[in-house]
Structure 1
Amino acid sequence: MSGNLMNYKEFSRSLETIVGITVTPFHKDTKEMDSDQVKQNAEFLINSGLKVIVPCGNTSEFYSLTIDEAKLEIKMVTEQVDGRAKVVAGVGYAVKTAIELGNFAKEVGADGIMIHMPIHPYITTEGAVQYFKKIITSVDLPAVVYFKDPNISDEVLLELSSMDKLVGIKYAINDLPRFAKTFNKIDVTNNNVAMICGTAEKWAPFFYQVGARGFTSGLVNLYPEKSFALLEALENNDNNTIWEIWNQIVAFEDLRAKYNSGNNVVVIKEAMELVGLNGGVTREPVAPLKEDDKVSLRDLINSWGLNYHKV
C-alpha cells in the first residue's frame, strides 16, 4: 500500500467519532456573520473534545452564505482549530464553485472537504456521479460525500467507493435496510471509506448496529457531554446507557425534525442562546422558532439541568 493510501485509511478511521457541524452566528439586526462568535464556537467544540469539525455544513446554513462568506468561515475555523482537530470544510453549489471552495480550503490548511449534494432539482444518478467525481478529482484533499437525496440511487456511492481520496460517506437517508445493503456492498477496509450516520444522535444507535461507526451532531454545539456519553456507550455496547441517553435527547431531535426538518438549525441556535452560547439568529429561508416550539425547547433545556437565561 502506498503512503497516500495509508494516509487516506488513517483519515477514514479518524472519522469514526462525533463529526461536529458548526453553526454560523449572525447579528440580530443586520444578519451579518459574527466573526468573533464563529471563532468562539470553534474553540468551544475543541475544548469539548471534538476531533472532527465541519464548517459550512447544513447546520452552518451553508446555502445562505455567499462564496466569500463561506471562504471566511472555513478560514476562521481552520485557523482557530490550529491543528487540534481535523477540519473538513463543506463545499457545494456549482461544480466549479465547489472546486474553488475546496482548493481554498486546502490553501488555508483544512484537512478535508465534505461535498454537499447538488441543489438543482433535476438530477440523475449518472449526473450525481459526475458531479462528485469531478470535485473529488479536482481537489487534493480527502473527501467525504454528503448523501441525502432518497431519490438518487446508492449506485452513486458504489461507483465512487473505489476512489482513493473518498474517505467517508455521510449517509443521511433514514432507511436502514437500504443502508445495510449499501454498506455490505462497499468493502470498507479495502476502500478506506468510513460510513457515517448523517442524521445525528437520534439515529446513531440504529446506524451503529448496521456498521456506521461515526455520527454527525448539531447537539454537540450546546450539550457535548451528552453526545460523547452516547458515543462511549455505543463503543462499549452498553445498551442500557445507549437507550437512557436516547430517551433524554429524542425530544430535542424530534423538535428539530418538525416541518420537514425546517426546525433543524433554528432549534440548535435557539438552544445555544438559552444556555448562554453564541447561536445568533437564522437567515432566510430559515424563520425564527415558533412560540410554542420555544416553550417546548425551554422546558427540555430545563429538564436537562443546563444553566440558561431567558432570551
Structure 2
Amino acid sequence: MRIALDGVTAVLVTAYRDGTGRIDERAVADIATRTAEAGIPVLTALGNTAEVQQLEPAERRAVLQAVARVEPPVTLIAGVCGASGTLLREIEVAQAVGYHAAMVHEPSDPFGDADGLAAFYRQVAQAAALPIVLYVRSMRLSAAHLADLTALPAVVGVKYARNDLHTLATLLGGPAGKQCTWVNGLAESAVASFGALGVTSFTSGIANARPDIALAVHRAVTDGDLALLRGLVRDFVGPVEALRAEHGGRYNVATIKQLLRWQGLEAGGVRAPHSELDELALARLAGVRHASVTPAGTPSKPRDRSEDRP
C-alpha cells in the first residue's frame, strides 16, 4: 500500500481560545485550509508541534475533526500517542473522519529496549485501522529493527528524526528503501544532508506560517539549486529553527504561533512545558519575519522595518 507522502508535510499547531483554555476548532481548520491552499500536499494533525502530549483525549479528537474539514484535497496524517489501546481507538476516530494514515509517536515510557519498542510498533501496525507512519526519534531502533518494521504491509512511511545518517543510508540502500516512503523528520534545516541521500521530502512546522518558504526549500533541494537553499537557510530557516530548538525546544511552538499572529491568525498561547517568547526571542524573530522568495527564486534579505519590531 502506498500513501502520498512526497514533498512537504506541514505539522500543524493546535490553536487555543482563552489563552490555552480550550481548543479553537475554527482556527485549527482555518490554519489547515490556508496551508493546503498554499500548496502543501500533506498535513499532520497532532504532531509534536501540536503540543499533542499536553492534549486530553477529547481535545485530540476535536483537533482531528477540525483538520479533517480542510477544503483542498491533501493527504491527512493523524498523530497518535499513548498506550496501544488508546492509539488504536484514536486511529479508528481518524479513519472515520477521513484521514489517510496515522503517525505513531514513540512511547514516552522510559523503560524498554529496542526489541520492546519494535514489538510495540508491530502490535499497533498489525491492528490499526489505517496505514502507519513510524515516527523515529530516539536511537533505540537499529537498522535491522527498522528494516523488519518497514517490511510490515501496514507501514507506509518513516518520519526519520535522527541525526544518524549512516543508518539511514544503509537502510535506503537495501529493501527498506523501496518498501515505504522515507521522510526527513528534522525539517528544513536538515534538507541538504537528507537530500544528499535522496530523501527530499520533509516535515515542517514553518509551513504553518510560511508555506511559501517551505515549498521554496523543497523546490531548491529537488532542483539542486544550492544557491537558493543557502539563501533560504541564511535568511529565514536557520534563524527560525535555531530559535525553536534552543533551551530544549522551549520556543518550538511559540515561534510558529507568533509568526501566525503577525499574519493576523491568532492561535492562542502554549501549554507548559512549552514557553512563550521572551522579549529578546521576540526581537530576534521580528528581525527575520519578512524574509521572502522573489518570483525569480532568489531569496531576499529581511527588510528593515523597525516599526514592526516590538
Q: Name the TM-score, length of structure 2 as normaliser.
A: 0.90
Q: Give the structure 2 partner of residue 119 of structure 1.
A: 108
Tell me the alpha carbon deviations over residues 106-159 of structure 1, each in whole angstroms, 9 at most, x when there is no partner.
111111111101011112111111111111111132210000012443433112
Q: Give the structure 1 partner of residue 275 of structure 2.
A: 287
Structure number with higher helix proportion: 1
DSSP-derived class of the 1:45 partner: helix
Choose the corresponding residue for 1:153, options 101, 117, 142: 142
Q: Percent identity?
A: 26
- Structure 1 residues 305 and 143, CA gap change in structure 2 (3 angstroms): farther
Q: Give the structure 1 partner of residue 256 of structure 2.
A: 268
After TM superposition, list the pairs within 5 Å mapping 1:156-195 onto structure 2: 156-189=145-178, 191=179, 193-195=180-182
Deviation at 1:310, TM superposition (A): 6.9
Matched to 2:213, the amino acid is K
Hey, what's the Cα distance between the residues in 1 that align with 2:200 and 2:169? 13
After TM superposition, list the pairs within 5 Å mapping 1:222-301 onto structure 2: 222-248=209-235, 249-301=237-289
Matched, 1:107 2:107: no
Hey, what's the Cα distance between the residues in 2 that align with 1:245 and 1:186? 34
Choose the corresponding residue for 2:87, options 89, 98, 104: 98
Deviation at 1:305, TM superposition (A): 5.1
Contact 1:31 1:281 in 2 (8 A): no
Matched, 1:201 2:191: no
After TM superposition, list the pairs within 5 Å mapping 1:60-139 onto structure 2: 60-78=50-68, 80-82=69-71, 84-139=73-128
Q: Give the structure 2 partner of residue 39 of structure 1.
A: 29
Structure 2 portions without partners, runs of 5+: 292-301
Structure 1 portions without partners, runs of 5+: 1-7
Deviation at 1:54, TM superposition (A): 0.4
Deviation at 1:306, TM superposition (A): 11
Deviation at 1:77, TM superposition (A): 0.9
Contact 2:286 2:308 in 1 (8 A): no
Matched, 1:210 2:197: yes
Matched to 2:167, the amino acid is R
Q: In the comparison of the two structures, how many residue pairs are matched?
A: 298
Hey, what's the Cα distance between the residues in 2 that align with 1:99 and 1:143? 11
Contact 1:275 1:309 in 2 (8 A): no
Matched to 2:268, the amino acid is G
Matched to 1:170, the amino acid is K
Contact 1:208 1:234 in 2 (8 A): yes
Q: Give the structure 2 partner of residue 4 of structure 1.
A: none
Matched to 1:259, the amino acid is H
Deviation at 1:75, TM superposition (A): 1.4
Hey, what's the Cα distance between the residues in 2 that align with 1:43 and 1:251? 26
DSSP-derived class of the 1:199 partner: coil
Hey, what's the Cα distance between the residues in 2 that align with 1:284 and 1:66? 14
- Structure 1 residues 176 and 306, CA gap change in structure 2 (3 angstroms): farther
Hey, what's the Cα distance between the residues in 2 that align with 1:18 and 1:125? 29
Hey, what's the Cα distance between the residues in 2 that align with 1:108 and 1:223? 27
DSSP-derived class of the 2:77 partner: strand
Deviation at 1:276, TM superposition (A): 1.9
